[in-house]
Chains A and B, each alone.
Chain A
Amino acid sequence: MTATTKTSHKYSAKSILESFGIGIALLLLIVFFSVTTEHFLSSNNITNILSQVTINLILAIGMTFVILIGGIDLSVGSVMAFAAVVAGKAISMEGFGPAELITVAIIAGLAAGFVCGLLNGVISAYWALPSFIVTLGMLNIARGAALHITDARTIYSFPYAFEEFGSLLFYGIPVVFLVALALVFIAWVVLTRTVFGRILYAIGNNEEAVRLAGHRVFRYKVAAYTICGLTAGIAAIVYMARLNISSPIAGIGFELNAIAGVIIGGTSLSGGRGSIIGTLLGVFIIGVLANGLILLGLSDFMRQMITGVVIIVAVILDHYRAKYAS
């Protein structure tokens, strides 16, 4: 059957090209900034970029799960702030040793993110509501809760070991970035090597077919949102360790950066298509762009415009990818 064989080669070549395309775009950006600016490739700046992308990368990992099943989570920035102040309250308790405080704070922060994500998933999946609206509600709930808990005040002064962790370097690589990279690896394994990941992709493609094949779609959807909430919790802990504060107004607008990273990385907003490697590259494109344009000395306003253009170009490319695929 030569006809099918031919299309098959085209198909696999195309899917490789998709990730390659993003990688090449990133490479071009890096080459461009290396040539046009003095410091871009300096080891200090590379360390900077890695720590600058860390939080967005962690949020984008969770966002990838949600977008893959055809949803969206607008609440991650607020949930991160909420988780951070919950953890901040926990870590400021009196009468405990630093090790206990750090442990409790991490657990509390992750639990806060987990619960917000679980609620997002249960509410949107059970009543079949648009995730856009449900997570917009959660955005306000989590932000309000964060402000309420703290009376809008920043929490500071954490145990020394915790504050130190955020700025630790391992051969010039921020340890928090390595944490994010480990999460990327775990997410990659889950999405490409597990039955769970397979079903998530299938739900994004054709939810009804998956349901008729006997899978409890509800549970998978809830799981995807919960993972997204959990990564917001992890991002909160990293935020605290890096900046040594818990601010209830942290992370405003971070959800949009995370979504942009996922979409630039080639994951389709309608679900079912995309990869965590693409997300990694997409987040780096945003991070490198932000960093390089400052080094170039471009004004803030130009910087904002160029970032906007990149997002739109990415979505246009996605449109052609989708057309090409069908």
Chain B
Amino acid sequence: MATTILECAGLKKYFGGVKALDGVSFNLAKGEVHALVGENGAGKSTLIKTLSGAFAWDEGTVSLKGKPYSPTDPREAKDKGLQVVHQEFNLLEHLSVAENICIEAMPRRAFGFLDRAEMARRARAALDAIGLTDVDVSTRVETLGIAHRQLIEIARALQSKSDILILDEPTATLTDREKERLFAIVESIQEQGVTVVFVTHHLDEVFRICNRVTVFRNGKTIITENIAESSPERVVQHMIGASLDSSVDESRNHPTFGELALRVENLVHVQNPHGEGVSFELRYGETLGIAGLVGAGRTEILRSLFGVNEIVSGDIQLDGKSVRFRDPSESIAAGIGFVTEDRKDEGLVIDMSIAANVSLASMKKVNRAGFMDFSAEQRNTQQRAGQLKLKYGHFNDAASSLSGGNQQKVVLAKWLESGPKILLLDEPTRGVDVGAKAEIYSIIRSLAVEQGMAILVVSSETPELMTLCDRIAVLANHRITGILDRPDFSESAILQYAYGQDPNARQQA
């Protein structure tokens, strides 16, 4: 094996009490293509941000080319030869390809005038270096497709002398042909002696172009393997870990549910690229989870059921009757509540009072001939606060004065006030501390079991779904790849479905 260029040992990074990195150790060899894989939140993004100088780590050491390395800002990381192409593009759409490539160091002539000829020459050279000879450097970026933009980012990153190039989810938005082109470019970069770090969710790509793979789980590096000696199944096994599979509560294996609440058939919404859509059923008293990787189309299902996202085709039956909501006011009237993913942008009117937030989706209950019934509002808020064990100062305090967990309880209270029969939950415990998490779980369970609510919950945390749900539907790229009943719950099965693998086919592996 070639010489080691970068070595990480025992990296740790805390955000408040959360361990984002909890012991990351691995090395990169000169000229290799090295994959970083792991579930959402396993620590890959945090690692990239620390290595590229976006923020510092708390413990551990990194050495680059044998010298200690701790960049204080992204510029220093670049100067030392480490370049990152981020998932979100940083291109200026209205400028030309040449301007974008040279943006960090515009060539200048005397008196600070821009040297356009030199700029075009440098850009041309950068594009040619990665074989992108068919793109004119004077083209404006906004006229190019996603794939070209990605490649231009890579060209920009590579024009200054780089030793390490980190590609964060580079294939997420590419078509198969575009991917092939990217892979060819990665190979040619590799031949020039550059180390490429490839962060991805797609194991087939890992096994296609990478030399080694490092697996992350819960902020730790689990193992680094040579691709030649590994298999996708082994990698998934490492990502999941074996011990967690036993945490399923056996007592809930044979529950009884009520009437059919919701039947969804071939639902296709505007963001869905496939024609067949998704189909599932939900009964009163039942909690159905929707698992899947980020971008698999989970939130979009909830939003289209609720009448926010436009539905292209398919049938939704509520209590046996076909419905199609065009606006949240209609779905709320029909008895649906929607706890959105983003508290600050969609869930709360954060600068308004707790009471105002609690009554926002059920103004009828505090409406006396157009005037506010403030005492009714206080009573209702008090009642919900008791039910949800809300910790607060005063109901007239702004929602922003609360902790994350209590803010989430206010969102829940708002929807419970509207008296829903069906509750849609999107990441119900994101940014919530452990104690409040447990409380929210028990609230959700009691809504289903004691009040017979039909609950549909989307979460990126597999253990959360396994705790809350009676069934879990797994989504991969806008398709349901599997629906698991409670006895069949396992992190490995869910993860394999999420990666588009069939868990039943690997029993003997």
Known: A4-B393, A193-B371, A195-B366. Contact between A211 and B328, CB under 8 A?
yes
Evaluate contact between B361 and A213: CB separation under 8 angstroms: yes
The total of Cβ contacts below 8 Å across the A-B interface reads: 103
Known: A209-B346, A210-B360. Contact between A195 and B370, CB under 8 A?
yes
> 1/0 per position for B392-426, CB-CB distance to A under 8 A?
11101110111100100000001000100000000
Evaluate contact between B370 and A210: CB separation under 8 angstroms: no
Compute how far the CA of A326 lies from the CA of B345 in the bound complex, rounded to whole angstroms: 14
Evaluate contact between A194 and B392: CB separation under 8 angstroms: no
Which A residues lie within 8 Å of B401 (CB)? 4, 7-8, 11
> 1/0 per position for B323-358, CB-CB distance to A under 8 A?
000011101110000101000011111111000100
Known: A4-B392, A212-B340. Contact between A11 and B363, CB under 8 A?
no
Which B residues lie within 8 Å of A9 (CB)? 393
For this complex, into which size category does the number of interface residues on chain B fall? Answer: 35 or more
Evaluate contact between B349 and A209: CB separation under 8 angstroms: yes
A205 nearest CB neighbor, chain B only: B349
B332 nearest CB neighbor, chain A only: A214
Interface residues of A in 193-231 (CB under 8 A from B): 193-199, 201-202, 205-206, 208-216
Asked if A12 is at the interface of the complex by the 8 Å CB criterion, the answer is yes
Evaluate contact between B351 and A198: CB separation under 8 angstroms: no
Compute how far the CA of A230 lies from the CA of B228 in the bound complex, rounded to whole angstroms: 76
A216 nearest CB neighbor, chain B only: B329
Asked if B90 is at the interface of the complex by the 8 Å CB criterion, the answer is no
Asked if B367 is at the interface of the complex by the 8 Å CB criterion, the answer is yes
> 1/0 per position for A1-41, CB-CB distance to B under 8 A?
10011111101100000000000000000000000000000
Evaluate contact between A206 and B345: CB separation under 8 angstroms: yes
Task: Quote the shortest CB–CB distance from B418 to chain A (angstroms).
Answer: 8
Name the contact of B333 in the complex, choosing from A1, A213, A214 (C-beta under 8 A): A214
The secondary-structure label for the interface of chain A is: helix
Compute how far the CA of A211 lies from the CA of B306 in the bound complex, rounded to whole angstroms: 12
Evaluate contact between A12 and B372: CB separation under 8 angstroms: no
Which B residues lie within 8 Å of A205 (CB)? 349-352
Evaluate contact between A12 and B396: CB separation under 8 angstroms: yes
Evaluate contact between B332 and A208: CB separation under 8 angstroms: no
Asked if B308 is at the interface of the complex by the 8 Å CB criterion, the answer is yes
Name the contact of A209 in the complex, choosing from B306, B360, B371 (C-beta under 8 A): B360
| Number of A residues, CB within 8 Å of B | 33
Name the contact of A194 in the complex, choosing from B351, B370, B393, B400 (C-beta under 8 A): B370
The winner among B340, B352, B366 for most chain A CB atoms within 10 A is B352
Evaluate contact between A194 and B346: CB separation under 8 angstroms: no
The winner among B340, B372, B400 for most chain A CB atoms within 10 A is B372
Evaluate contact between A212 and B338: CB separation under 8 angstroms: yes
B377 nearest CB neighbor, chain A only: A198
Compute how far the CA of A214 lies from the CA of B306 in the bound complex, rounded to whole angstroms: 10
Name the contact of A202 in the complex, choosing from B306, B338, B347, B349 (C-beta under 8 A): B349
Asked if A278 is at the interface of the complex by the 8 Å CB criterion, the answer is no
B345 nearest CB neighbor, chain A only: A208
Compute how far the CA of A4 lies from the CA of B398 in the bound complex, rounded to whole angstroms: 10
Interface residues of B in 415-464 (CB under 8 A from A): 418
Which A residues lie within 8 Å of B400 (CB)? 326
Asked if A303 is at the interface of the complex by the 8 Å CB criterion, the answer is no
Which B residues lie within 8 Å of A196 (CB)? 370
Evaluate contact between A325 and B351: CB separation under 8 angstroms: yes
Interface residues of B in 305-327 (CB under 8 A from A): 306, 308, 327
Compute how far the CA of A214 lies from the CA of B396 in the bound complex, rounded to whole angstroms: 23
Which B residues lie within 8 Å of A209 (CB)? 345-349, 360
Interface residues of A in 177-203 (CB under 8 A from B): 193-199, 201-202
Compute how far the CA of A18 lies from the CA of B255 in the bound complex, rounded to whole angstroms: 56
Task: Quote the shortest CB–CB distance from A166 to chain B (angstroms).
Answer: 33
Which B residues lie within 8 Å of A208 (CB)? 345-346
Which B residues lie within 8 Å of A89 (CB)? none
Task: Quote the shortest CB–CB distance from B421 to chain A (angstroms).
Answer: 15
Task: Quote the shortest CB–CB distance from A223 to chain B (angstroms).
Answer: 12
B327 nearest CB neighbor, chain A only: A216
Asked if B391 is at the interface of the complex by the 8 Å CB criterion, the answer is yes
Task: Quote the shortest CB–CB distance from A129 to chain B (angstroms).
Answer: 20
Task: Quote the shortest CB–CB distance from B346 to chain A (angstroms).
Answer: 5
Which B residues lie within 8 Å of A4 (CB)? 391-393, 397, 401-403, 406
Task: Quote the shortest CB–CB distance from B193 to chain A (angstroms).
Answer: 49
Compute how far the CA of A205 lies from the CA of B347 in the bound complex, rounded to whole angstroms: 12
Which A residues lie within 8 Å of B350 (CB)? 205-206
A7 nearest CB neighbor, chain B only: B401
Compute how far the CA of A199 lies from the CA of B350 in the bound complex, rounded to whole angstroms: 14
Which A residues lie within 8 Å of B338 (CB)? 212
Which A residues lie within 8 Å of B372 (CB)? 193-195, 197-198
Name the contact of A214 in the complex, choosing from B329, B345, B397 (C-beta under 8 A): B329
Task: Quote the shortest CB–CB distance from B302 to chain A (angstroms).
Answer: 11
B342 nearest CB neighbor, chain A only: A208
Evaluate contact between B397 and A11: CB separation under 8 angstroms: yes
Compute how far the CA of A198 lies from the CA of B371 in the bound complex, rounded to whole angstroms: 10
Known: A211-B328, A214-B328. Contact between A202 and B352, CB under 8 A?
yes
A326 nearest CB neighbor, chain B only: B400
Name the contact of B371 in the complex, choosing from A11, A194, A210, A272 (C-beta under 8 A): A194
Known: A4-B401, A8-B394, A210-B349. Contact between A215 and B371, CB under 8 A?
no
Compute how far the CA of A136 lies from the CA of B332 in the bound complex, rounded to whole angstroms: 37
> 1/0 per position for B157-186, CB-CB distance to A under 8 A?
000000000000000000000000000000
Interface residues of B in 270-292 (CB under 8 A from A): none
Q: List 29 A-B contacts (CB under 8 A).
A: A4-B393, A4-B397, A4-B406, A7-B397, A8-B393, A8-B394, A8-B397, A8-B401, A11-B397, A11-B398, A193-B371, A194-B370, A194-B372, A195-B372, A196-B370, A206-B350, A209-B346, A209-B348, A209-B349, A210-B349, A212-B308, A212-B328, A212-B340, A213-B361, A214-B328, A214-B331, A214-B333, A273-B351, A325-B398
Given contacts A4-B392, A195-B372, A215-B363, 9 further A-B contacts (CB under 8 A): A193-B371, A198-B356, A202-B356, A206-B350, A209-B349, A211-B328, A212-B328, A214-B328, A326-B351
